[in-house]
């Protein structure tokens, strides 16, 4: 069989190779873009009580380290619910929040925050050293340019939340 368009095949092959080369040379994603993706997955792989409602208010407490990186979660679906993003200054009420990310700037007030949220179905998140051991449900870390996380299963149970086993398998540490 005679090839009708050898130049076309050559161009398509070259285009395919070049598209992969772009991926290999692409810059690493910014830290907080990666962490925003983790926050979304944390929400997706958490089960809230049925009475939680149709909206999950994701509250960033303190100076927002995500900036625009987390804005893409606004209105996104997660387990049949919609995510609503709110930014709260340290000390602001968290009564309407189902997910609270405690920024480094608000870590000093963590004991008060956790006490205010006690026994409420709220997924607490942070990215501060030792936060999981202090009672935050999921804490993210950066290790060799990659995001890892640790889970406090007792804190999740106390909040009435169920963390998926798929999520827990990926944790670097699970505190029972």
The pLDDT, as a whole number, for residue 152 is 98
Domain-located, residue 9: no
**Cβ proximity of 72 and 36 under 8 Å:** yes
What are the tens digits of pLDDT across the range 150-163?
999 999 999 999 99
Domain-located, residue 19: no
- What is the domain count for the chain? 1
Domain-located, residue 10: no
Domain-located, residue 1: no
Quick check: 73 pLDDT over 90? yes
The H or E element spanning position 60 is strand 55-61
Average pLDDT over residues 108-113: 96
- Is 25 or 42 the better-scoring residue by pLDDT? 42
Nearest Cα residue to 121 out of 170, 174, 81? 81
Q: Which residue segment(s) compose the domain that 56 sits in?
A: 31-175
43 contact partners, CB below 8 Å, separation of at least 6: 56, 58, 78, 79, 83, 99, 123
Domain-located, residue 25: no
Quick check: 4 pLDDT over 70? no
Q: How many residues does the chain have?
A: 176
Quick check: 52 pLDDT over 80? yes
DSSP structure class, residue 29: P
Distance CA 13, CA 163 (A): 45
Here the CATH number for the domain that contains residue 170 is 3.40.50
Distance CA 89, CA 149 (A): 25
What are the tens digits of pLDDT across the range 75-99?
999 989 999 999 999 889 999 999 9
Averaged pLDDT score across all residues of the chain: 86
Domain-located, residue 3: no
Nearest Cα residue to 134 out of 97, 160, 102? 102
Distance CA 8, CA 13 (A): 9
Domain-located, residue 12: no
The pLDDT, as a whole number, for residue 25 is 30
Domain-located, residue 122: yes
What are the tens digits of pLDDT across the range 116-167?
999 899 999 999 999 999 999 999 999 998 999 999 999 999 999 999 999 9
């Amino acid at each position: 069989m005679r090839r009708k368009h050898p130049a076309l095949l050559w161009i398509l092959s070259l285009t395919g190779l070049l598209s992969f080369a772009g991926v290999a040379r692409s810059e690493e994603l910014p830290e907080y873009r990666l962490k925003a993706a983790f926050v979304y997955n944390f929400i997706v792989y958490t089960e809230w009580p049925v009475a939680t409602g149709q909206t999950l208010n994701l509250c960033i407490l303190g100076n927002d380290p995500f900036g625009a990186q987390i804005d893409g979660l606004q209105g996104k679906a997660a387990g049949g619910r919609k995510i609503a993003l709110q930014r709260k200054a340290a000390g602001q009420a968290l009564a309407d929040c189902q997910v609270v990310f405690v920024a480094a700037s608000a870590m000093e007030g963590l004991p008060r925050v956790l006490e205010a949220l006690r026994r409420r179905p709220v997924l607490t998140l942070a990215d501060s050293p030792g936060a999981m051991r202090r009672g935050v449900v999921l804490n993210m870390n950066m290790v060799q340019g990659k995001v890892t996380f640790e889970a406090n299963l007792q804190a999740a149970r106390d909040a009435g939340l169920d963390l998926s086993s798929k999520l827990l398998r990926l944790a670097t540490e699970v505190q029972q």
